[in-house]
Each structure stands twice: as C-alpha cells, then as structure tokens.
Amino acid sequence: MGKAKKTRKFAAVKRMLKPTDARLKEVQEKEKKKDEIEKEKAVRRIPQMASSLFLAHNEALAPPYRVLIDTNFINFSLQNKLELVSGMMDCLYAKCIPCVTDCVMAELEKLGHRYRIALRVARDPRFERLPCSHPGTYADDCLVQRVQAHRCYIVATCDRELRRRIRKVPGVPLMYIVRRRYAVERLPDQGAPS
C-alpha cells in the first residue's frame, strides 16, 4: 500500500469570530473584573486616625491608666507570683484601673477547674468590668476591636499573636511579663517634648 496523498486546501480562510460574538463579551468582562480587583489591591486603604493621637503621643492616655487584661496575663501573673494591681502601679508609676471584659471572664470560666484562682482574681472588686455586646466569646478579637474603637487603654497580654495584632494599632501601649516583672512597650513620655 502506498501513502495516501493529503491534498492541501488552497487558500483556506481561518474562521474568525465576529466582534459582536457573546463568547468574546464574557472574556472581556472577566478581564475587566480582574483589572478592577488589581486596582483595588493597589490602592491602600488607611483607616481614619483618632483625633487624640498627636504625632507620636496619645493624648487620651493619662493617669489613672486603664489596663485591659487578657486571660493569659492573669494566668502568667499567678504563675510568676505577681500581684496584678501593685505590679502595674510599680511598672507605670501611676494609679491603674485593671479592666476585664465579659469575653475574658467567659474564657476563664470555660477553662474550668484548673483556672479557678485566675477566675477569682478576675472577679476582684478593684477590677472594672466592661460589658461586651458582640456575638461570641473570643477575647482576642474583642480586645482588638475595643482598642481600635477607644485608644484610652493599655493592653496587658502575654500572647505573641495578640501583641502582634495590637502593634498594628497606633497609639496603644502593651504590657507583658519579662523576668518575673511587668514591662511596658510603646508608652510615650507624657511630659517630654518631642
């Protein structure tokens, strides 16, 4: 058997889509959506700054300091045998009002019998109780939202992830435990000129 001859069609015209074809419109719409998404990503959305922030100083922070306490801060304070109120006053050299949110209390109650002493410490009458109106009892999100809304708090936590999140909020100092004592990060000197 010999080879079958393939005849080439002479001057064959490629089939072309009309510019009004529906398939082209779908592709163009998808490309437009991609371009819009890329433009949105390129534009940085910076949240509105609080009026109490002036240069590097937070004018809303003044003694007596209101300290928002996280669950693990209470636990680590007990493990390191630190008294919360007096330790905070020694660290900040001013009167402190420890504040505990409903979410932190709920988290301590969920932890159960092993954390009953921490729960008893959190129920101290010297601590100010802050009510929460949001759904759920995740304390980290609650603390971040409260700090973003009102920059009049110092946040006391030993959780690295929460500290990383709060560092992104300008004008909010952090308190944590270092070498069996409290330390403050990013607290501006109120009296010193900049």
Q: Is residue 190 part of a domain?
A: no
Q: Is residue 47 part of a domain?
A: no
Could you list the residue range(s) of the whole structural domain that residue 104 is in?
63-185
| Verdict on whether the full-model pTM lies above 0.85 | no
Q: Is residue 46 part of a domain?
A: no
Nearest to 139 by CA among 116, 156, 114, 120: 156
The values of phi and psi at residue 23, to 5°, are: -65, -35
In 3-state terms the chain splits into helix, strand, coil percentages (rounded to 5) of 40, 15, 45
Q: Is residue 23 part of a domain?
A: no
**Domains identified in the chain, total number:** 1
Q: Are 79 and 111 in contact, with CB atoms under 8 Å apart?
A: no
CATH of the domain at 91: 3.40.50.1010
Rounded distance between C-alpha atoms, residue 16 and residue 120, angstroms: 79
Nearest to 73 by CA among 116, 96, 104, 95: 104
3-class DSSP state of 131: coil
What is the block-wise mean pLDDT of the chain (194 residues), using blocks of 10 residues? 68 71 83 88 71 70 93 96 95 95 94 94 95 89 93 94 92 93 82 44
pLDDT of res. 41: 79
pLDDT of res. 171: 86
pLDDT of res. 13: 64
Q: Is residue 124 part of a domain?
A: yes
Q: Which residue has the tokens 């410490």?
A: 121
Q: Is residue 132 part of a domain?
A: yes
Q: Is residue 107 part of a domain?
A: yes
Q: Is residue 11 part of a domain?
A: no
